[in-house]
Amino acid sequence: MPPNKQALRDKQMSQTTTIYHNPNCSKSKATLEILTKKKESLDVINYLDTPPDNEALESILTMLGLAPRELMRSWEAIYTELNLADESLSRSDLITAMLENPILIERPIVIKNGKATIGRPPESVIDIL
């Protein structure tokens, strides 16, 4: 397995809980608080500053069992500006839009032991711990 794929796989199977976090989002802050109270070993990624790369986003989508558009915040202005509701856009087009505009990615995303969930509601993260 190439080193970057192995590193991603190791991270997914790690005892560390990863949260793709937006510190300005109330649901994200509430989810982080739950994880902190559970004394989880955390890797907090401010995804607006450090968005996932293509491989990580594909992996997240697979773990969540979602298509790209299902992980998108369709009410964000940029969604409309980029015409992302256009059904002719490919999976690759949608992923590229999220990578270039991480505000489009639903949050918070929590990953532990090869499982992922979206912290909406925040308490839903308890299911994968």
| Predicted TM-score of the model (pTM) | 0.86
Average pLDDT over residues 14-25: 92
Catalytic residues: 25
Q: Do β-strands 17-21 and 42-46 pair in parallel, antiparallel, or remain unpaired? A: parallel
Q: What is the pLDDT of residues 68-102, one digit of tens each?
A: 999 999 999 999 999 999 999 999 999 999 999 99
pLDDT at 3 over 70: no
Rounded distance, CA 68 to CA 99, Å?
11
Question: Encoding tokens for residue 116?
Answer: 């992922």
Confidence of residue 11 (pLDDT cuts 50, 70, 90): low
Q: Are 108 and 27 in contact (CB under 8 A)?
A: yes
Domain ranges of the chain: 3-128
One-letter amino acid at 53 equals: D
Q: Does domain 3-128 have CATH number 3.40.30.10?
A: yes
For the cut 90, the answer to whether the pLDDT of residue 9 exceeds it is no
What's the pLDDT tens digit per position in 25-76?
999 999 999 999 999 999 999 999 999 999 999 999 999 999 999 999 999 9
pLDDT at 15: 83
